[in-house]
Chain A
Amino acid sequence: MNEKREQSVLVQRSWMVAAQKIGAPLISAALAVVVGSFIIWASGYDPRAAFIALWEGSFGSPKAIGDTLLKATPLILTGLAVAYGFRAGLFNIGAEGQLFLGGLAATWLGLSLAGLPWFLLIPLMLLASMLAGAAWAFVPAILKARIGAHEVITTMMFTYIGRYLVSYLVIGPLKAPGQIPQTAELPGAGQLSRIQALFSEATLASFEFLKLGRGHLGIVVAVIAAVLVWFVLKHTTLGYENRAVGFNPWASQTAGISVQSTTVKALCISGGLAGLAGSTEVMGVHHRLFDQFSSGFGFTGIAVALLAKNHPIGVIPAALLFGALAAGAGRMQFQADVPQKIVLIIQALVIFFVAAEEIVLWLIRRRQKEAVSHAG
């Protein structure tokens, strides 16, 4: 009798833990949307019209869904980058800079190796972007591991340096002939094709939902990366060490894990993932490099990672949410007149509520404790 009751309590508790894990981020996102609506309303706009426009612009049609996928692609990768760092106790606030370097490396390689077939060129470009991103994170990583220089400051500084570097290159050495500061267009074999381009006209005519507009194959790269990161974290020594150091560096050191080398690896892998976001942007969306090719995806990646509770698979829905916000923002401005910047505010609120959710969790835990003690 007693055993049975204990078991049911255990089942109840594991349910509660699961609900907590998924429920808490959902509550945070919902709270952010509520406060965001309040701001829209208080500013004299119509929140209903705003959200209808936001919905139509992000999920309202296959083309809108394509736009959401388009925006979610770099966000999955930068979200993974930030999450992987957080799992080792490191805050890679500079994913934006690593993304810039990734885009730069992919573009440079794509233009230099024009003529290679796509099945060689595309993997090479993706790989180059990861290496470049990792290299851009390497100095902050070494400084962190060796002398404890705070990675928040150093990766941020490297972001500015990277952006000026790209800005210089597209105005100078890599500039294509013409007035606009941008590189030449990538060869076709170095571009990630649009999803709808994979299907024939006839197929598209009968399956409307495949008309995903600008949505490109980068999303496949991003999802594969998410699964790989999940696998590495969960099933490899590298991932285990990463999590161990993030959980307790002192205990890990005592247990024989080198905190220094784990720190360097973690930040470089994080940088590599952010770099990959740069190449998919260049290869799938713009097909060339210019100054402003990223609209802050590296920074939004922080919100994505936090909302996903740093879980690599959780990053996918979180990135879809922020991707939808980004995709729908234009239509919201156009249709309901609400400034797009509201999306940034909602992002900030999500981060804030995720960070402040301790108070919610604390309440839940206390209830659970009571439930358990009553049951016992």
Chain B
Amino acid sequence: MLGDIITPDLFASALRMATPLALAAIGGTICERAGVVNIALEGIMLTGAFFGTAMVLLTGSPWLGVIAAVASGAGISAVHAFASINLRSNQVISGTAINLLALGLTGFLMELWYGHPGTTDPIKVLRPIFNFESPGGGAIAEAWRWFDSIVFSHTPIVYLTILIAIVAQVAIHRTKWGLRLRALGEHPRAVDTVGVSVYRGRWVAVLMSGALAGLAGANLTIEQVGSFTENMTNGRGFIALAANIFGRWTPVGSYLASLLFGFADALQIKLQILRGVVSIPPQLFLMLPYLLTVIVLAGVIGRAVAPAAVGEPYEKG
């Protein structure tokens, strides 16, 4: 029974499940490092998922779908940027508006374009990059099966996400751009004083986070599910926010935290095969990632310190 649960696929699946969370969490990291709270990740992800799917349905090309998802994510996050940076709205409230807007807009367009609510037709998905032949029997073949499944079984965005986490980590901590970004979130006045535009820096950060959350949506639909369903993000944007905090506002930390949540999700799915054996209701497993999020947040806060100026609108002096 344990052998049915702990399989190479469990770990491979954890990596897959972690991907949309990690992309959104890294987006959240970049945004919050610049001093803007992005509670809209959930809605941006949903927007990307929808427009990505719509583009694939229109053109038949998954890669054009990915581009559409990224572009639409950045597009809807521009609304958040305009409201929270230029209009100095409350960032949490502006984010809530975007979440609702995304829910309404995707549902509305779904009915307008496809004539029905619910789920779209299946789309052409991105396939795993590698496809190795498995060698014959024996222990080596078994080891190879594990390795192949965990390392080589994935679709492009899964690998891209790992790359993004590393590049973002270096960019934030080792470059001039990153220094400025962090200063925007800690002491925007200082950035302004040396003649760098706070508004522009924050705009770039919010758009980047939108693009990443849009890419997360593309991963959900164009790589994992293969269709769009209304409200399919199901709280992932909020879990991503928690992953960002657990990862202490660093991209690699966000990625690792997302792996934990991804593992919980993968485990939850695997555990459902136990249903035949022990009568545990599936809903209790479905709660697992959400419960874990609360537990992790409860354990980590106090030791993790948010950027000092996060959530505060900046008024030009």
Contact = CB atoms under 8 A, between A and B. Distances in A.
Interface in B230-249: 234-235, 238-239, 241-242, 245
Interface string A117-138: 0000000000000000000000
**What are the 9 tightest A-B residue pairs by CB atom distance, in nearest-first order?**
A344-B104, A348-B101, A168-B283, A341-B107, A348-B100, A345-B104, A339-B111, A351-B97, A355-B89
A160 interface: yes
A303 B93 CA distance: 10
B238 A153 contact: yes
Interface string A253-294: 000000000000000000000000000000000000000000
28 contacts: A93-B96, A147-B302, A156-B235, A157-B235, A157-B242, A157-B290, A157-B293, A158-B294, A160-B290, A161-B287, A161-B290, A161-B291, A164-B286, A165-B287, A306-B93, A339-B108, A339-B111, A341-B105, A341-B117, A344-B101, A344-B107, A347-B100, A347-B104, A348-B97, A349-B101, A354-B93, A355-B87, A358-B87
Given A160-B290, A358-B87, A167 B97 contact: no
A148 B298 contact: no
A147 B305 CA distance: 11
A167 B284 CA distance: 10
B90 interface: yes
A359 interface: yes
Given A148-B301, A344-B107, A351 B100 contact: yes
A157 B83 contact: no
Contact of A355 (B83, B112, B287): B83
A187 B14 CA distance: 47
Nearest to A166: B283
Contact of B281 (A154, A161, A168): A168
Contacts of A150: 241, 245, 297
B112 A339 contact: yes
Interface residues of A, number: 46
Residue with the highest number of chain A CB atoms closer than 10 Å, among B79, B97, B242? B97
Contact of A339 (B107, B242, B245, B290): B107
A176 interface: no
Nearest to B98: A348
Given A149-B298, A168-B281, A303 B104 contact: no
B213 interface: no
Nearest to B281: A168
B157 interface: no
Residue with the highest number of chain A CB atoms closer than 10 Å, among B93, B234, B242, B293? B93
A354 B100 CA distance: 14
A104 to B, nearest CB: 13
A99 B242 CA distance: 23
A359 B87 contact: yes
